[in-house]
Amino acid sequence: MTEVVQVELGARSYEVRVGDGELARVGRVVASLPGVTSVVVVTDTGVPEAYPAAVSASLGEAGFEPRTVAIPSGEEHKTLATCSEVYDRVLSTSPALDRHSVLVAVGGGVVGDVGGFVSATVLRGVRFVQVPTTLLAAVDASVGGKTGVDHVAGKNLIGAFHQPAGVVMDVATLRTLPLAEFRSGLAECVKHAMIADESLLEFLEQRSGEIAAIEPTTMVELVARNVQIKAGVVSADERESGIRAHLNFGHTVGHAIETSSGYGSLTHGQAVALGMRVNCRLAQRRGLIGGEVLDRLDGVLTCMGLELRRAGLQPADLWEIMLHDKKTRAGRVTVILPRGIGEVSIVSDVQADEMARALSVLE
Amino acid sequence: MTEVVQVELGARSYEVRVGDGELARVGRVVASLPGVTSVVVVTDTGVPEAYPAAVSASLGEAGFEPRTVAIPSGEEHKTLATCSEVYDRVLSTSPALDRHSVLVAVGGGVVGDVGGFVSATVLRGVRFVQVPTTLLAAVDASVGGKTGVDHVAGKNLIGAFHQPAGVVMDVATLRTLPLAEFRSGLAECVKHAMIADESLLEFLEQRSGEIAAIEPTTMVELVARNVQIKAGVVSADERESGIRAHLNFGHTVGHAIETSSGYGSLTHGQAVALGMRVNCRLAQRRGLIGGEVLDRLDGVLTCMGLELRRAGLQPADLWEIMLHDKKTRAGRVTVILPRGIGEVSIVSDVQADEMARALSVLE
């Protein structure tokens, strides 16, 4: 079974294919794009070699002679310096990339972000096909066109919006994913359910066994449903001026927890899970929702193997980090608060003491 | 007198103001943009200090407290490394740039390209106001949204399309411009006339005395007319998939001459002037135009103080460089050929020997 989700963005529309064994079909997807002259595969050294190899074989069958560029693995390499190495490789070695070339990124979020940013900026933009091999990249980063690298002053501070020409997700790649990374992706699935789709929450609750077993049919449905939700939001607000902000549910607090804990000490999804709990408590204290919303969130997070608490957080430190969040404007910390399951709103008047009280839900 | 040219690009439309004394009005232009939180002025060490100082004073009167970042002067600094320094300055020093900040680029093409690329990529894009202080930047780079930096493999290989929020051109800045730089800009004016507007060619022929004297009213009219022509082309073809290629008249050959001569040994405009002559000869040999077109081009180039010939060019070397031009596809060199004054077409079947014969017009 292969599910195809359309991301509607006018002239920049594209398809996300989700299936079992899709790596073997990447060549056909690239061949379907008009006028492709050459193909470069970008991957990282942490991706099992079999994946870029399968993609290259598929591209070879489609008549291309792809080159592969492997960047070093890890968020610490998501930098302008790494991009610079990729530019060197694709521009200085023959045959050089031209404007009709396609860059195929095979890997997780870092590969997608670096490959996407290079695609956005080399020769002022070439086409880009994303082949996510992590659940987080599949349900989150592969839809939306956000590309970018980190700067010493913060994450993703240098980047561009650049929509892919296509996305191909092979759920078979999830079988080699470390458990913590898998759960990190599941946290974003919970987030999508909380902001937009109660029936997805029911799916997560009822199919948690199949999900934990990475059962292919279940995973195809899970990924496709999440892509559909994110695609809907992105289509309505490509440049993040309005409702796309809903996707930040749990992220302002989550990013602050990630930053204060040091990157790598917990996964992005785990941090977002904690952030969602804090936002539910904030909403509950404001009377926007009853306690049953937090209870249900806690239940599904537990089923997904995510932690509900984290010791040693310092509310004052977290607040200081939130004040410097990219989305904070004129000193007003912005958070997304639930108004029920599948419904949220943007709130910009949270105060430090209110936040500190809500953070106690993590103790 | 201030002329205002509208660049029509839907939601990305903006105004180009051209006048005498406009530096003092930059603050008002920035203040007219919605929700500006802070302003950074980017300039280079080769720009007379009085210009960024005047812009900062104007911004101060409008209620902003601009910071100034000066990059090193010269094309050799149009690199990712320079961008990296600017990112550091604007992100790591307080108050850090936010998404509602505006970057104002004061200077020539390098400042516009670097400032534009940083604007396109910092925080995935902030607004950008261009204040060109050279004729070339005013009539060429300030319209069209091309931003970028050089790579060891070639010029402008890393970049993005990012339209400015506004452009302010003060013709008084042209008085401090070195003569060769001034003439370089005039070559692009001749190009606009040749591809799109015979009446502009007449203007250049008839007003060459006032132009050489940098008479303000004449210069305002000259810049505004050129911006209007370029804006019309860019509006019709923002991403350079069709008629925007006409703006490359003289550029394939010109770039090759620049590259083979070593950058800096002749100006960009001077190289384009030579390229236009070669393209006229190509068109003449193909019977597309009579000899009077080249004669008229030669006349106006001479009036503008541009050279008609260049010794020591090697046709085989130039051809090799043209084969590696960014716009060359599948080994087919593309040139723009005149079909009369103000009319051109795109030709992709030029052969090496035909090019060599046409290059003899430069001997």
| pLDDT (tens digit per residue) in B72-126 | 999 899 999 999 999 999 998 778 898 999 999 999 999 999 999 999 999 999 9
Q: Which of B90, B98, B124 to mutate to test the interface with A (most CBs of A within 10 A)?
A: B124
**Averaged pLDDT for residues A176-194:** 97
- Confidence (pLDDT) at A326: 72
Q: Which residue has the higher pLDDT, B313 or B241?
A: B313
Taking CB atoms and an 8 Å limit, are A146 and B124 in contact across chains?
A: yes
Which residue among B87, B153, B154 sits closest to A158, beta carbon to beta carbon?
B87
**Averaged pLDDT for residues A17-42:** 97
What's the complex ipTM?
Answer: 0.85
* Chain B partners within 8 Å of A127 (Cβ): none
CB A187 within 8 A of CB A258: no
DSSP state of B233: H
Residue with tokens 């205002």: B4
Q: Give the chain A residue whose CA is nearest to the CA of B83.
A: A80
What average pLDDT is seen over chain A? 94
- Confidence (pLDDT) at B206: 97
Q: Annotate A135-185 with DSSP letters as a single string.
A: HHIIIIITSS-EEEEEETTEEEEEEEE---SEEEEEGGGGGGS-HHHHHHH
A188, A192, A277, A310: the active-site residue: A188
Terminal C-alpha separation, chain A: 43
CB B271 within 8 A of CB B309: no
Instruction: Tell me the CA distances in angstroms from A139 to A9, A176, A226, one per residue in order.
Output: 18, 17, 6
Which residue among B92, B151, B328 sits closest to A91, beta carbon to beta carbon?
B151
| pLDDT (tens digit per residue) in A129-171 | 999 999 999 999 889 899 999 998 888 899 999 999 999 999 9
- Confidence (pLDDT) at A330: 72
Active-site annotation holds for A326: no
- d(C-alpha A303, C-alpha A212), whole Å: 9
Alpha-carbon distance A229 to nearest alpha carbon in chain B (angstroms): 23
A295 vs B: CB within 8 A:
no
Taking CB atoms and an 8 Å limit, are A153 and B329 in contact across chains?
A: no
Strands B335-340 and B343-347: antiparallel
Give the confidence band of A331 by pLDDT, cuts at 50, 70, 90: confident
Taking CB atoms and an 8 Å limit, are B99 and A146 in contact across chains?
A: no
| pLDDT (tens digit per residue) in A53-88 | 999 999 999 999 999 999 999 989 999 999 999 999
- Confidence (pLDDT) at B331: 78
* Chain B partners within 8 Å of A153 (Cβ): 88, 91-92, 96
Instruction: Tell me the CA distances in angstroms from B201 to A22, A199, A214, B207, one per residue in order.
Output: 59, 67, 70, 10
Taking CB atoms and an 8 Å limit, are B121 and A121 in contact across chains?
A: yes
* Chain B partners within 8 Å of A154 (Cβ): 91
3-state secondary structure of A125: coil
Alpha-carbon distance B322 to nearest alpha carbon in chain A (angstroms): 14
Taking CB atoms and an 8 Å limit, are A91 and B330 in contact across chains?
A: no
Q: Which of B121, B147, B150, B323 to mutate to test the interface with A (most CBs of A within 10 A)?
A: B121
Instruction: Tell me the CA distances in angstroms from A294 to A187, A260, A339, one per residue in order.
Output: 15, 24, 11
Helix (H) or strand (E) holding B69: strand B67-71
**Averaged pLDDT for residues A332-357:** 95
- d(C-alpha B322, C-alpha B258), whole Å: 11
Q: Give the chain B residue whose CA is nearest to the CA of A157.
A: B123
A12 vs B: CB within 8 A:
no
Q: Annotate B198-220 with DSSP letters as a single string.
A: HHHHHHHHHTHHHHHTT-HHHHH
Entry field: residues in chain A: 363
